[in-house]
Amino acid sequence: MTSYHLDHLQYLETEAIHVMREVAAEFERPAILFSGGKDSICLLRLAEKAFRPSDIPMPLLNIDTGHHFPELNEFRDRRAAELRARLIVRKVEDAIAAGIAVPEPGEVSRNRLQIPTLLAAIEEFRFDCLIGGARRDEEKARAKERFFSFRDRFGQWDPKNQRPEIWNLYNTRVNPGEHMRAFPLSNWTELDVWEYIRRERLEVPSIYFSHTRRCVRRNGQWLPVTELMPPKPGEEVRELVVRVRTIGDIISTGMIESRADSVDDIIAEIAAARVTERGARADDRVSEAAMEDRKKAGYF
């Protein structure tokens, strides 16, 4: 007796494949944002499921802040090559040199400067839709995102003026200069992502697994010691067994103390976790409305 029944991962998968195919069918110049992080790794597997045996009919795009973990960039380049996909990388430092992105005096973080760099890449390639790996469970402002999120000529999101999204009928129409962001993983949770990685046996960058790293304690977080971020006078450098739960820039990503060195361990750890994924990211904690402000400006 066949059971015509999808479990939760199969349901989320078919929903996401449907979104990706809508993008391929309805846009002329789409791209997939691929950082090498766990969510975008899932996106690429979904792209394979949506489009094989054809080539993935859109390039991959990454905005390189220059503050990436080196393991992440190595993985990004290798994975794109394995999939025979075209990878476009645009660098924040090039955008700064070209005057497209202007740092404030003393501004160390590249987080804000990603925005003009991304918008310039959209203009350069005339992308009309970018597929991203954002999930609604990540943060309060994202809980209100649509699968297809409209951006005006300035790349901005207007949370009060979103298109209603009804059934699975996505209104993908944009005028020249406007674009769309599509989020196939909208309904996925952090746990779903890892369970999918396990089911699909997907490779992830090594920094997700526990390793030994020199860290300093800052603002209640363990931050990795690097050339970009040497210890301040008086700070104690500790050698810890850590991993990353979410990957931002190397200067702002909190490491969590963990011995999880397999996907099974990570799933067990998340299931028991008492802090959300974004709790480890200093950039979100600036204010309660931090994410909302960045999204309005064109952030992912």
Partner 1 sequence: MPHRPHPIEILRFNTCGSVDDGKSTLIGRLLYDSKSLMEDQLAALERSADLTGGGQINLANLTDGLRAEREQGITIDVAYRYFATPRRKFIVADTPGHVQYTRNMVTGASTANLSIVLVDARQGVTEQSRRHTYIAATLGIPHLVIAVNKMDLVNWDRERFLEIREAFEAFLPRLDAFKDVKFIPISALHGDNVVEPSPHTPWYEGPTLLRHLENVHIASDWNLTALRFPVQWVNRPNAPTDPHLHDFRGLSGQLAGGIVKTGQKVLILPSGLKTTVRQIWTYDGVLAEAFCPQSVTLLLEHDLDVSRGDMIVGTEHLPGMSSELRAKICWMHARPLRAGMKLFLKHTTRTVQAIVTRLENRVNIATFDPEPDPPELAMNDLGEVQIKTAKPVIFDAYTFNRLTGSFILIEQGTNATVAAGMLHPPSELVKPEYTDFAI
Q: Is residue 226 within 8 Å of 250, Cβ to Cβ? A: yes
Kindly state whether residue 272 participates in binding partner 1, applying the rule CB under 8 A.
Answer: no
Least spacing, CB of residue 49 vs partner 1, in Å: 4
Residue closer to partner 1, measured from CB, 49 or 112? 49
- In the list 73, 109, 171, 226, the residue contacting partner 1 (rule: CB under 8 A) is 171
CA angle, 277 then 280 then 95, to 5°: 100
Residue in 29, 167, 245, 283 binding partner 1, rule: CB under 8 A: 167
CA distance 156 to 296: 5
- 89 by Cβ neighbours in 10 Å (0-12 / 13-18 / 19+) ranks as middle
Least Å from the CB of residue 212 to partner 1: 26
Considering the rule CB under 8 A, would residue 259 count as an interface residue with partner 1?
no
Please spell the DSSP secondary structure of 67-105, one letter per residue.
Answer: -S-HHHHHHHHHHHHHTT--EEEEEHHHHHHTTSS-PPT
Under rule CB under 8 A, residue 297 binds partner 1: no
For the bound state, the minimum distance from the C-beta of residue 142 to partner 1, rounded and expressed in Å, comes to 8
**253 forms bridges with which residues in the sheet?**
281
Stretch that binds partner 1, among 101-109, 154-162, 202-210, 223-231 (CB under 8 A): 154-162
Query: Three-class SS string for 210-263?
Result: CEEEEEEEECCEEEECCCCCCCCCCCCCEEEEEEECCCCCCCCECEEECCCCCH
Q: Does 189 bind partner 1 (CB under 8 A)?
A: yes
Site for partner 1 contains 175 (CB under 8 A):
yes
Structure-block tokens of residue 7 = 């479990």
**202 is an interface residue for partner 1 by CB under 8 A:** no
CA dihedral angle for residue 256, residue 144, residue 102, residue 30, rounded to 10 degrees: 100
We find the least distance from the C-beta atom of residue 288 to partner 1, in angstroms, to be 7
Q: Decide if residue 79 touches partner 1 (CB under 8 A).
A: no
Among 1, 28, 53, 227, the residue binding partner 1 under the rule CB under 8 A is 53
The residues that touch partner 1, with contacts defined as CB under 8 A, are 2, 4-8, 10-15, 17-18, 21-22, 24-25, 48-55, 136-137, 140-141, 143-144, 159-160, 162-169, 171, 173-175, 186-187, 189, 191-192, 199, 273-276, 278-279, 288-289, 292
